[in-house]
Structure 1
Amino acid sequence: MAEQENKKPKKQKSAMREWWDSVLFAVVAATLIRGLFLEAYTIPTGSMEKSLLINDFLFVSKVHYGARTPKTILQVPLTHQKIWFTDIPSYSDAIQIPNFRLPGFTSVKNGDVVVFNYPGCPERPDPYGGYDKYPVDLRTNYIKRCIGIGGDVVDIRNSEVYVNNKKFDNAPNTQKYYSIEANTNVNEKLFEKLGIENKGERSENGKIYYSINATESALAELKKYDFVTNIFPDIIAKGDTSDQNYNAFPHQTTLFSNNRDNFEPFTVPKKGMKIQLTDKNIAMYKSVITVFDLNKNVEYKNGKIFIDGKQVNEYTFNQDYYFMMGDNRYESDDSRFWGFVPADHIVGKAVFIWMSIDANGSLLNKIRWSRLFSLIK
């Protein structure tokens, strides 16, 4: 009895302590889920239309390719670059640690829709020059379709992509620019019905010409109307680098004549792949070697690559890279303009849409119901 009398009753937690413990548990659990398994993203731009729409809310799997361990460890939980609703940085880069990738059950494949941190391009002309100022794991998130993986030979011929000399199968909703010739005005409702974007029109010699952005299936439907007399693909000719808006990677017009629709063959860097450092290879892979390939004491000067102060004439890549493009081909800022995505910039695979909101829809049609819980292909 004496022992029982000496036991003190367990002190009850205050309501504030209970609340704090619950919040702390929720933050830790959400951080682990977000970092290791699934993370929610929102589509902010039209670079993947019609495959992914603006204000599609989707989940990205970290387990497919393996989650990355954090590089920037001093960060407010559940933030990216800034504290919510402010311009205050949500992190400090005073401590940066090497990041590693945990085992995944697959690797990035041709045709996958991938979320990655935008690497940028040091050679790109202003105002897009340089690379993202944030640490690798906090750089701006992009979403594109993987066209080429490490070791693939990619080229583009009159807007058609070839991988290892085989035509790449475009996603069903891939869009490109066309001009159509009609002998009468085309009702805007027809464009809307077919999901075609009218980007302008003009009249000439009794004909009406429309500039449109459309999928191949929409174009096939449009051809069935007899008032459409001709359809012309809007393609920049091979060798034409005159339009600086489409000055393509590697931004070296004396050695390359690449443009939006025509790219001469190149090899996507692969870990362990060795290349000779010719003038063209240096131009193509300079930013990879000097910025992204985890090298120390490397520099480019007088058209040559130096590592530890010594000129090198061949180079072996330290990690895999990828070539990414948007399905909305002519309204996508992608690898055609800024180059390769390093493996350590890969965030995860886009797997399904859980919500989609049409900002221009009426009250009853604000939610795109048909897109809810749809798989991303």
Structure 2
Amino acid sequence: MQSLLGNFALILFILMVISGVVWFYDKLVLVKKRKAAAEIALAAYDERNARMKAEGIKVDDSGRETLKEKLMKRPMWVEYSGSFFPVIAAVFVIRSFLWEPFRIPSSSMVPTLEVGDMILVSKYSYGIRLPVINKKVIGLGDPEKGDVVVFKFPKDTSLDYIKRVVGVGGDKIEYRNKKLTVNGVEAKYQPMSDYLDTESLTYSKQFEEDLSGAGVKHRILNDDRAPTYVPHPDRFKNRQMCTYNVEGFSCTVPEGYYFMMGDNRDNSLDSRYWGFVPDEYIVGRAFLVWMNLNDMTRIGGIH
């Protein structure tokens, strides 16, 4: 799906730690030092003014507050670092445990998601995971068939991909002649009007797919020009649990893994090519398109 500067969560975590250390060091140490230094300086200021008054010299005390503010002012490096800490911490907590934004860069999930869609992903739908290492510590559920999920790409975990879950551990997935079967039950397909790709100005056949046992209806695309078989699948982990032929393929999903497919079936590199997605690579469930600068009508829930 996209590369987030290698590991944006790690970068954000480091910034939060650095700014947090500065913020706490200022609150616990530097403030006391500034206050002690200010008290000494103000005491000397008051003593000087009292002496001048005793000598009959008119004294202007208006500069005392200005001097105090100057003495108590935080250094610039502390000012900037400390001021950013609450903001960085809030962003880190929100995107690590609640919601994370992504932008769709490819057409593999058309027509459900289009290029340029800005989406929100729920990070807590499937449990609470420790940020950076993505380790689940509290389980709140598992991805289900039909969910649109963001996950770490098994071949390069610095990349985030988005696909639809069509199989969970123990499921037998078959895709032959461009029709999906799960555990022996073929998905139902309702023909819809052809889909126009406005970039390439080409049409694809569009169907409403009803995933067997999932109760999830969504749109998919098929391209008559594309072959029914899977060309050149990788030698991925647990590859022995899949068989390929000229009509398509059949796979049994290992426990703890998921089988992902793009809704743009003939224009999606997915589990058919690079294999199963382990649970520890799951990032979250995509649930909302919150912006598309090219088409504001795209805003809404993801099905």
Q: Which TM-score tier does this pair reach, normalised by the shorter chain?
A: 0.5 to 0.7
Residue equivalent to 1:39: 100
- Give the Å deviation of 1:167: 1.8
Pair 1:371-2:298 in alignment: yes
Distance 1:142 1:169 in 2: 26
> Could you say if the C-alpha distance between residues 30 and 22 of structure 1 is closer, same or farther in structure 2, counting changes exceeding 3 Å?
same
Q: 1:341 aligns with which of 265, 274, 277?
A: 277
Any stretches of 5+ residues in structure 2 without a counterpart? Answer: 1-37, 40-67, 209-222
The residue aligned with 1:81 is none
CA offsets per residue over residues 251-303 of structure 1, 9 Å max, x none?
Answer: 889x94336x5113x31001xxxxxxxxxxxxxxxxxxxxxxxxxxxxxxxxx
After superposition, the Cα gap between the structure-2 partners of 1:44 and 1:198, relative to the gap in structure 1 and judged at 3 Å, is: closer
| CA gap 1:156/1:60 in 2 versus in 1, 3 angstroms | same
Query: 1:1-377 alignment to 2 at 5 Å?
Result: 8=39, 12-14=72-74, 16=76, 17-70=78-131, 100-120=135-155, 132=156, 136=157, 139-168=158-187, 195-197=195-197, 212-216=203-207, 233-234=224-225, 236=227, 246-248=231-233, 250=235, 256-258=243-245, 262-264=248-250, 266-270=251-255, 320-358=256-294, 368-372=295-299, 374-377=300-303
Q: What's the RMSD between the two structures over aligned residues?
A: 3.4
Instruction: Report if aligned partners of 1:248, 1:258 keep a CA contact under 8 Å in 2.
Output: no
Q: 1:93 is matched with which residue?
A: none
Distance 2:190 2:143 in 1: 17
C-alpha displacement of 1:24? 1.7
TM-score by length of 1: 0.51
What count of residue pairs does the alignment treat as equivalent? 219
Q: How big is the shift at 1:27?
A: 1.1
1:39/1:321 CA distance change after superposition, 3 Å: same
Show structure 1 runs of 5+ residues with no match: 1-6, 73-98, 121-131, 174-190, 201-209, 218-231, 271-319, 359-367
Deviations 1:22-61 (A, max 9, x none): 2122112211211111111000100001110111001111
CA separation in 2, counterparts of 1:43 and 1:198? 16
Q: 1:113 offset after TM fit, Å?
A: 0.1
2:198 and 2:83 map into 1 onto residues whose CA distance is 52
Measured in 2, the distance between the counterparts of 1:109 and 1:171 equals 22
User: Which amino acid letter does the alignment assign opposite residue 74 of structure 2?
Assistant: S
Please give the alpha-carbon distance, in whole angstroms, between the structure 2 residues aligned to 1:166 and 1:250.
28
Offset, 1:235: 6.1
CA distance in 2, matches of 1:236, 1:147: 20
CA distance in 2, matches of 1:330, 1:102: 37
TM superposition shift of 1:156:
1.2
1:158 Cα deviation from its structure 2 partner = 0.8
Q: Aligned-pair distance for 1:102?
A: 3.0
Local SS of the residue matching 2:138:
coil
> 1:250 Cα deviation (Å)?
4.8
Name the counterpart of 1:273: none
Question: Kindly tell me: are residues 234 and 166 of structure 1, through their superposed partners in 2, closer, same or farther at Cα, counting changes over 3 Å?
Answer: farther
Counterparts in 2 of 1:357 and 1:171: CA distance versus 1, 3 Å: farther
Q: Is the 8 Å Cα contact of residues 148 and 164 (structure 2) preserved in structure 1?
A: yes
- Deviations along 1:60-93, one digit per CA (max 9) or x if unpaired, are 1110012322455xxxxxxxxxxxxxxxxxxxxx
**Deviation at residue 234 of structure 1 after TM alignment:** 4.4
**Structure 2: which amino acid aligns with 1:14?**
R
Q: Which has the larger radius of gyration?
A: 2
Contact 1:196 1:214 in 2 (8 A): no
Q: Is the 8 A contact 2:195 2:204 kept in 1?
A: no
Distance 1:335 1:101 in 2: 23
Amino acid corresponding to residue 196 of structure 1 in structure 2: L
Amino acid aligned to 1:216: F
AA aligned opposite 2:271: S
Whole-angstrom distance in 2 between the partners of 1:41 and 1:71: 17
